[in-house]
Amino acid sequence: MTITLIISLCILVLIAYAFDLSSKHTKIPTVIILLIMGYSIQYALNFFAFEIPDLNPLLPILGTIGLILIVLEAGLDLELNKDKKHIITNSFLSAFFPLLFLLLVFGFCINYFTNQNAMSSLLNAIPFCIISSAIAIPSVQNLSAEKKEFVVYESSMSDVIGVILFNFFLSNDTIGFSSIITFIAEIILMLTISLVASIGLAFLIKKIDHHVKFIPIMVMIILIYYISKIYHLPALIFIIIFGLFLNNLDELKHFSFINKLQPKRLNLEVQRFSKLVAEAAFLIRTIFFVLFGYTITTETLLNRETMPFAIAIIALIIFIRFIQLKIAKTKLSPLLFIAPRGLITIMLFLSIPLSKKTNFINNSLIIQVIILSAIVMMLGLMFNKSISEDEL
């Protein structure tokens, strides 16, 4: 049984890698293939009467590690300099205002249909408002550098902003002066921790000369993240700041302590670390979405009660994105369709306490929104007519 499981896992990862390579030509997001693979495996095992233990408890673990790695990978890919000011501003506005508007609309709808209090309604609405960097970033690797960069910035900021708001609504039953002051204090504290931890980890990356070097660093990153979560701090801020810090050492040379880190030497180590993070993120993302596909049932996927709501949610997401891109005077194709929901949606949904959950937001609605948003993105990429030669 163990040998069969290991062989099957290896084959699945290799198939996922082959589809990842071929996505340049097919324009089919790898996540669609992974979900189909997981879904097919479930029915194949049932057909041959194989007994598999309940794998659902693994989803939050793999999802959290995957989220950390994906946001870290994005941070290690982002540059902060004057030349990037325009794209950073545009991507932030594109991440923030649609998220805020969708949050208010979805929150109002949940409150109207369920009579949940305002904070619980907003808490349940947030998972639908965040662009999933886990799906968006890998899906745009074949677009132009400018469009790819926009999606990386936008989806990463959407993740961070969304998680910060989620933590706020999770920790507070009402919005008042004290809760806002506490929220601001937590962000300031997390920023301080992030800066200190980033300098310390950067020093270790430069200083350690043992042949095993980056795995302990990654373990410490996960450890800091989880300790921050215990104290209800917005831990994802640390992940993005650490990635940005390492990738922008040259922009920080005017600080004396940065020169002590020897940026030229450290940049070589950061490049190696970045490659390891990217490959680890690919592996965890692959296993997570195959496992998630395995947990999907036909009844959940084709639930007629939730399907109209799922379609309405996707339609509103695209409509708001259309308005935002028009206001920003950004070319619509294919960015209009690149607003998938995915890993972050699942993670936040699973993090909502039972006491604050509503039956209106269930597994069927979450799965349908994720799959429909991925299909919309796939069609947008496949029928994109504005692909230049350097994107092919």
Over residues 262-295, the pLDDT tens digits come to 778 888 899 999 999 999 999 999 999 999 999 8
* Confidence at residue 232, expressed as pLDDT on a 0 to 100 scale: 83
Instruction: Tell me: pLDDT of 390 over 50.
Output: no
**Biggest alpha carbon distance in the chain?**
65
Beta-carbon contacts of 306 under 8 Å, excluding residues fewer than 6 positions away, are 362, 364, 365, 368
Q: Does domain 58-391 have CATH number 1.20.1530.20?
A: yes
Name the token pair of 286. Answer: 């692959």
150-173 as b/e: b if 16+ CB within 10 A: bbbbbbbbbbbbbbbbbbbbbebe
**Is there a contact between 344 and 133 (Cβ–Cβ < 8 Å)?**
yes
Ordered DSSP codes for 25-92: HH---HHHHHHHHHHHHHHHHHHTT------TTHHHHHHHHHHHHHHHHHHTT---SGGGHHHHHHHH
Task: State residue 167's pLDDT score.
Answer: 87
pLDDT at 319 over 90: yes
User: Comparing 27-31, 158-162, 184-188, which segment has the lowest mean pLDDT?
Assistant: 27-31
Evaluate if residue 93 carries a pLDDT over 80.
yes
Band of residue 330 on the pLDDT scale cut at 50, 70, 90: confident
Q: How confident is the model at residue 260 (pLDDT cuts 50, 70, 90)?
A: confident
Q: Report the mean per-residue pLDDT for the chain.
A: 88
Q: What values do phi and psi take at 53, rounded to 5? A: -65, 165
Sort 15 into a burial class: Cβ within 10 Å, 0-12 / 13-18 / 19+.
Answer: middle
What pLDDT is stored for residue 154 in this prediction? Answer: 92
Looking at residue 282, its pLDDT comes to 92
Q: How confident is the model at residue 1 (pLDDT cuts 50, 70, 90)?
A: low
* Domain residue ranges of the chain, discontinuous segments joined by +: 58-391
How many CA atoms, within 13 angstroms, populate the side-chain half-sphere of residue 80?
Answer: 15
Of the chain, the end-to-end C-alpha distance in Å amounts to 43
pLDDT band at 332 (very low <50, low <70, confident <90, very high): confident
Across residues 98-108, what is the average pLDDT?
A: 95
The yes-or-no verdict on residue 36 having pLDDT over 80 is yes
Q: Report pLDDT for 392.
A: 37
In this prediction, residue 389 carries a pLDDT of: 40
Tokens of 163: 């998680």
Q: Tell me what pLDDT residue 190 has.
A: 94
CB 352 within 8 A of CB 151: no
